[in-house]
Amino acid sequence: MTEPARRLLLLLFLMLAGLGYSYAQVRYERPVDTAPQPQTIGGGYSVPEVQKPLPRRQWLQVLDVGVLALALGLSVWLVISKRSRRWAQFLTIGSLAYFGFYREGCICPVGSIQNVAVALTDPHYSIPIVVTATFFLPIGVAMFYGRAFCGGVCALGAMQELVVLKPIQVPRRLDQALGLLKYAYLGIAIWQAIQPFAAREFLICRFDPFVGFFRRDGFAHMLYVGAAFLIVGMFVGRPYCRYLCPYGGLLAWASRLSKRGVTITPDKELDCGLCTEACPYGAIDKMRAIRKDCLYCARCYSSCPRTNEAALVQIGAPR
């Protein structure tokens, strides 16, 4: 064979090999340019509906606000009028079940601070009416009765309320100093939220220590932080609420205006100081309840000999 012929043969061979390779996969070409219609498809075919799961229905959201209002009312009534720790505890458990595990911690007034802040500053951002109601209801109640929300309603609070085991009394100066942290957090959270859209951060929700438990799903590091809060919370009553919760800060301000609240009644007291010892939150100072710190748990009432006949006999107090 001559040299050119050999080259031609090699070329032919290579081309054939290439063809063989390309035949190993489908030579794909889009078969249609428009979607076939039912009449083309035939056989009584009808186009199926594309399923679109709806977000939570409107009336259920209104129900959430209703449950919130009801729980706030119950919290005030059970603690202020009934002075019943037992029933307040039932309310706490109920709220944890509903707002925590059923609603999975969303929406909550604590996080809604940021949305309200954004909606007030960004002309293109709006919040649904239910969020507005969720944010303002507990503040409105706090203006008249104190932090009833923190006691039996807030799911984050309920989580910690139920693990209080052997609370120590945090020295007052330290307690007050740590309490300022929540105002700093409030300021930072609002500042981060009102940034332009691209730089916006929702710190309160991102670093919510308990939402992972409610959803039974979440980032591992936040679940560890939540577990740490619960373990510390066994010995220091409700650390997140007292030192970090930004909404607690707002409610503390609102509760300064309140007319009624948990009160250690002058003239009726025995000066025994049992209530001060019973309060895990350092909210009783010199035999008086501090409204901005009171978390509506009713432990003081349940420890009071005036409401507890057995204790009255024990300390031999005049009836």
**Strand partners of residue 285:** 288
Helix (H, G, I), strand (E, B) or coil at 105: coil
* String of DSSP letters for 144-198: HHSSHHHHHT-HHHHHHHTT--S-----HHHHHHHHTHHHHHHHHHHHHHTS-GG
Question: In the complex, what is the shortest distance from the CB of residue 300 to other proteins, in angstroms, rounded to a whole number?
Answer: 23
Residue closer to other proteins (CB basis): 114 or 303? 114
State the amino acid at position 270 in one-letter form: L
Per CB under 8 A, 267 contacts other proteins: no
What are 200-204's contacts with CB under 8 Å, separation 24+?
200/118, 202/111, 202/114, 203/114, 204/110, 204/111, 204/113, 204/114, 204/246
Per CB under 8 A, 121 contacts other proteins: no
Question: In the complex, what is the shortest distance from the CB of residue 212 to other proteins, in angstroms, rounded to a whole number?
Answer: 9
Helix (H, G, I), strand (E, B) or coil at 35: coil
Question: In the complex, what is the shortest distance from the CB of residue 111 to other proteins, in angstroms, rounded to a whole number?
Answer: 7
Per CB under 8 A, 128 contacts other proteins: yes
Question: In the complex, what is the shortest distance from the CB of residue 183 to other proteins, in angstroms, rounded to a whole number?
Answer: 18
Residue of the chain from 95, 115, 134, 303 that contacts other proteins (CB under 8 A): 115
Residue of the chain from 77, 87, 101, 202 that contacts other proteins (CB under 8 A): 202
Burial 56-82 (b: 16+ CB within 10 A, else e): eeeeebeebbebbbebbebbbbbbbee
Tell me if 275 sits within 8 A of 297, measured CB to CB: no
Residues 14 to 53: which contact other proteins by CB under 8 A?
24-26, 28, 30-36, 38, 40-43, 45, 47-48, 50-53
Per CB under 8 A, 254 contacts other proteins: yes
Two structure tokens written together for 278: 């019973």
Residue closer to other proteins (CB basis): 47 or 310? 47
Per CB under 8 A, 184 contacts other proteins: no
Residue of the chain from 96, 170, 205, 304 that contacts other proteins (CB under 8 A): 205
Residue of the chain from 16, 60, 62, 126 that contacts other proteins (CB under 8 A): 126
What number of CA atoms fall less than 13 Å from residue 72's CA on the CB side? 23
- Residues forming contacts to other proteins in the complex (CB under 8 A) are 24-26, 28, 30-36, 38, 40-43, 45, 47-48, 50-55, 58, 61, 104, 106-107, 111, 114-116, 119-120, 126-129, 132-133, 136, 139-140, 143-144, 200-202, 205-206, 215, 217-219, 254, 257, 259
